[in-house]
Amino acid sequence: MKTNRKEFIKTSLLAGTAIGFNACKFDSKTRPTSIVTNKPIVISTWRFGLQANAAAWEILKNGGKAIDAVEAGVKVPEADANERSVGLGGRPDRDGIVSLDACIMDELGNIGSVVCLENIKHAISVARAIMEKTPHVMLAGQGAYQFALSQGFQKENLLLPESEKEWKEWLVHNQYKPIANIENHDTIGMLALDESGNLSGACTTSGMAFKMRGRVGDSPIIGAGLYVDNEIGAATATGHGEEVIRIAGSSLVVELMRQGLKPEEACKEAVMRVVKLMERRNKNLKDIQVGFIALNKLGEHGAYCVQSGFNFAIQSKEQKELIDAPFYLKV
């Protein structure tokens, strides 16, 4: 389902009116003083977010916790062999090895992250186990794999025939050239606000297809691919991770909301930082995509991206849909 910008505004306004956003007031510190909140709600990146949200919603609608909802939600594309940018069936690196990156953050500021994880499909659950069962916040490669096995995760071959075929075709030219929006990347980033008013987020990916072995993008990096501040809001990113890391993207979006910006405005401002640094470095903006989604403490949401093609999924009591994100590059 495609939605244009006009429809997006209309839908947002309707949703806003339906739940009484107009009644919301902010004090001098931009903290909400009204109790009218759009909750529970879950939002996530790309089309696969629709199914992922549905799994998260099963938890949220029954009064479950946001942290459980985001984990359950992103596990859907992680387990789906047909989704080739996340988990099982993900595209490999240039050496033919599928390696996963993920992170998770709860309402208390607990964090867990895993990078370059091989042979375990639910990277997000490994990240959560790191958060809950170790004194650390991030584990990498072999150490992360050994930890996962010790926690009962099963070894599995993540490289499936379709991705292997693509990789072999890619080897003929052997060029690392990610294409914006053309399915050789994509990450599921998910943000949820639960019935108790708590926020959490999760982010998981197989990263850029045919990346260098050992390459880590933004997705497992707290502050870049994901950030949650339970007083303010949460944000997550997708697209060319190198550009997101450069501006500490998700943390920036949350800080902009702290200063009073609405979610879409905050996402737009962060995208403008990406644009500025691309221009400063004489890089061609058309070669990249970066998209942010954000959710604030009132359950208001928004997104913004560099160029057309990025969409995000929403599920709440009033809404269940996929929305095209507004974008900067008009060509």
For the bound state, the minimum distance from the C-beta of residue 13 to ligand ASP, rounded and expressed in Å, comes to 29
Which of the residues 187, 204, 205, 238 is marked catalytic? 187
Give residues in contact with ligand ASP (CB under 6 A): 185-187, 205, 207-208, 217-219, 238-241
- Euclidean distance between CA atoms 320 and 44, whole angstroms: 12
Q: Give the Å distances, CA to CA, from 298 to 107, 198, 226, 238, 252.
A: 15, 10, 19, 23, 19
Which is closer to ligand ASP, CB of 186 or CB of 194? 186
- Catalytic status, residue 33: no
The SS3 assignment for 161 reads helix
Joined together, the tokens standing for residue 162 give 């379709």
For the bound state, the minimum distance from the C-beta of residue 215 to ligand ASP, rounded and expressed in Å, comes to 8
Give the other-Cβ count within 10 Å of 140's Cβ.
17
CA of residue 322 relative to chain centroid, distance: 15
Q: Give the angle 167-97-136 at the CA atoms, nearest 5°.
A: 145
For the bound state, the minimum distance from the C-beta of residue 42 to ligand ASP, rounded and expressed in Å, comes to 18
Which is closer to ligand ASP, CB of 199 or CB of 208? 208
Which is closer to ligand ASP, CB of 93 or CB of 194? 93
Closest-by-Cβ residue to ligand ASP is 241
| 147-186 burial: b if 16+ Cβ within 10 Å, else e | bbeeeebeeeebbbeebeebbeebeeeeeeebebbeebbb
φ, ψ of residue 35 to 5 degrees: the values are: -100, 5
Which is closer to ligand ASP, CB of 219 or CB of 230? 219
- Euclidean distance between CA atoms 11 and 182, whole angstroms: 27
For the bound state, the minimum distance from the C-beta of residue 9 to ligand ASP, rounded and expressed in Å, comes to 25
- Euclidean distance between CA atoms 82 and 79, whole angstroms: 9
For the bound state, the minimum distance from the C-beta of residue 207 to ligand ASP, rounded and expressed in Å, comes to 4
Q: Which residues are marked as active site?
A: 187
